[in-house]
Chains A and B, each alone.
Chain A
Amino acid sequence: NAGVIQTPRHKVTGKGQEATLWCEPISGHSAVFWYRQTIVQGLEFLTYFRNQAPIDDSGMPKERFSAQMPNQSHSTLKIQSTQPQDSAVYLCASSSRGANYAEQFFGPGTRLTVL
């Protein structure tokens, strides 16, 4: 069984450029979560979809960050005009309705470096 797939694994952008991160959840999982991990803030929630619908984006920075889930097999996180403080590991996780969305299974993450 394939786990959560995230691409690219590493991305380097220049300040002001756009970055798009991709996530493919585990097949059959209907909930997708995005988290960000930094040394200073640790693991923090960004946004959450269930059955492709956005449920909560309270963790997303209000400007420059957006997320979509156009179909059940992938979600994207887009960061416009990237800034050095956006450098982090961005993690995607998915969970199953059958497990009451309890356990979340994480992808390997995308390490974003903004120069």
Chain B
Amino acid sequence: AQKVTQTQTSISVVEKTTVTMDCVYETRDSSYFLFWYKQTASGEIVFLIRQDSYKKENATVGHYSLNFQKPKSSIGLIITATQIEDSAVYFCAMRGSNYNVLYFGSGTKLTVEP
């Protein structure tokens, strides 16, 4: 069974700074995919970034990057140069190699203040 855990309920930062959100996962699959999604105040869920377990390089998309530590079953999201509009709830998710369903963490609410 897959399990995703986000222990940080909420984080508050000042804009233009860097924030890291934590996520740990459990799986018996040798190959799997990890994702971060963002849910805005309107409820929209937006795909941000993905890490394939077999890739050693950390994924980067725009001002989002990942800190993938496979031995620790950890996939942290790093947002650099945060903006007010980055305020949202961030979900970590995973899926196995042969099973397409996403398992989500409980989310981390990020507030970016001026």
Residues of A within 8 A of B (CB): 31, 33, 35, 42-45, 48, 50, 55-56, 59, 89, 91, 93, 95, 101-106, 108-109, 111
Q: A33-B101, A43-B91, A48-B101 are in contact. Are A104 and B107 (CB under 8 A)?
A: no
Give per-residue flags for B39-82: 1 if the beta carbon is below 8 A from chain A beta carbons, else 0: 00011111100100000000000000000000000000000000
Q: A43-B91, A106-B45 are in contact. Are A48 and B106 (CB under 8 A)?
A: no
Q: A101-B100, A103-B50 are in contact. Are A109 and B43 (CB under 8 A)?
A: yes
* Partner of B104 from A43, A89, A102, A105 at Cβ < 8 Å: A43
Residue of A nearest to B47 (CB): A103
Output the residue of A59, A95, A104 with the most chain B CB within 10 A. A104
- Bound CA span A101–B98, Å: 10
Q: A103-B35, A104-B47, A109-B43 are in contact. Are A42 and B104 (CB under 8 A)?
A: yes
* CB within 8 Å of A: which B1-56 residues: 33, 35, 37, 42-47, 50
26 contacts between A and B (CB under 8 A): A33-B100, A33-B101, A33-B102, A35-B102, A42-B105, A42-B106, A42-B107, A43-B91, A44-B104, A45-B103, A48-B100, A48-B101, A50-B100, A55-B100, A59-B101, A89-B43, A91-B45, A95-B100, A101-B100, A102-B33, A102-B50, A102-B95, A103-B47, A104-B102, A105-B47, A106-B44
A45 engages B101 (CB within 8 Å): yes
Taking the closest CB of chain A, its distance from the CB of B3, in whole angstroms, is: 12
- Bound CA span A56–B102, Å: 12
Number of A-B contacts (CB under 8 A): 47
Additional A-B contact list (20), CB under 8 Å, known A105-B47, A106-B46, A108-B44: A33-B100, A42-B106, A42-B107, A43-B91, A44-B104, A45-B103, A48-B101, A55-B100, A59-B101, A91-B45, A95-B100, A102-B50, A103-B35, A103-B47, A104-B102, A106-B37, A106-B45, A106-B47, A108-B42, A108-B43
